[in-house]
Amino acid sequence: MPDTSSGVATLGPQRIVCLTEETTEWLYLLGQEARIVGISGYTVRPRRARQEKPRVSAFLDGKIDRIVALEPDLVIGFSDMQAALADKLIRAGLNVLVTNQRSVAQIFGTLRLVAGLVGCNAEAESWISACQQRHHDIAAEAARWPRRPRVYFEEWDEPMISAIQWVSELIGIAGGADVFPELAGQSMGRDRVIIDALEPARRAPDLIVGSWCGKKFRPERVAARTGWHDVPAVRDGELHEIKSCDILQPGPAALTDGLAELHRLCARWSARQA
């Protein structure tokens, strides 16, 4: 952590508002939670942040007056979907940083960026190195399997939206194969909408993983879709939920718990094929 024993002020922003959960989780992991003065109302990682920090935003909008009153020297958000919120905050005279990471590599890059802002480069590199080693170990284990499960990951149900890039990449690391790899590179959700409701069934996924972006996944509804009864995942009861806070936040959670859950599902499926 930055040395303050000499009485020199800690470098970097001192009062940070985090508009999304992944920045809050990362700053806590770095031991820099004292800098956080406001968080997203969707924050659940770490759970204690909800008791320790005021909740001042949703995802698409926030309490502008309350955020301004906190006198932040930096507001950090994520994605083009927060552009309107960022615009309001900038017009209110605040410094705003909005990142737009979409891949695993970009997530690591963003973690480094935020760590650099608070003077925690060494701590960040230690965490990232350990995380990347774990990814390598998981991928090496999965490479020994005789067959990789085909995975349909559903980010939303109406309309059906398939996996964003970092989720698709994590499926690959975990030992699976995304059945919609051609859509994964599309950064906008609207460009990953599956128009033909039978197309996922035609691609015959062995596993169906739902993470409906904040609402509970309903596997029975998926299994009951017209024309899906012969899908291997439906036939074998392989429909599973990973909570969106563990996989759809482009930060530490996805790289650790989200990947671990994907790997558990893929490994269990693979073991059953032996």
Q: What is the rounded average pLDDT of the residues 182-200?
A: 95
Question: Tokens 């008791």 label which residue?
Answer: 51
pTM of the model as a whole: 0.94
CB atoms < 10 A from the CB of 237, how many?
Answer: 9
Residue 9: pLDDT over 70: no
Find residue 154's DSSP bridge partners: 162, 210
CATH 3.40.50.2300 fits 127-273, yes or no: no
Residue 3: pLDDT over 60: no
pLDDT averaged over every residue in the chain:
95
Amino acid 4: pLDDT: 40
Tell me the backbone φ, ψ of residue 98, rounded to 5 degrees. Answer: -120, 120
Domain boundaries, given as residue ranges, for the chain:
16-100, 127-273
The 10s digit of each residue's pLDDT in 51-69 is 999 999 998 899 999 999 9
Cα–Cα distance list, 268 to 208, 236, 260, 271 (Å): 14, 13, 12, 5
State the pLDDT confidence band at 6, using cuts at 50, 70 and 90. very low
CB atoms < 10 A from the CB of 136, how many?
Answer: 11
192, 126 Cβ separation under 8 angstroms: no
The 10s digit of each residue's pLDDT in 124-153 is 999 999 999 999 999 999 999 999 999 999
Amino acid 274: pLDDT: 76
User: How many residues make up the chain in this entry?
Assistant: 274
Amino acid 11: pLDDT: 85
Half-sphere exposure of 184 (CA within 13 A, CB side): 20
Distance CA 179, CA 182 (A): 9
The 10s digit of each residue's pLDDT in 35-50 is 999 999 999 999 999 9
Look up the CATH number of domain 16-100.
3.40.50.1980
36, 51 Cβ separation under 8 angstroms: no
Same fold, 16-100 and 127-273: yes
The 10s digit of each residue's pLDDT in 83-121 is 999 999 999 999 999 999 999 999 999 999 999 999 999
Tell me the backbone φ, ψ of residue 190, rounded to 5 degrees. Answer: -65, -20
180, 203 Cβ separation under 8 angstroms: yes
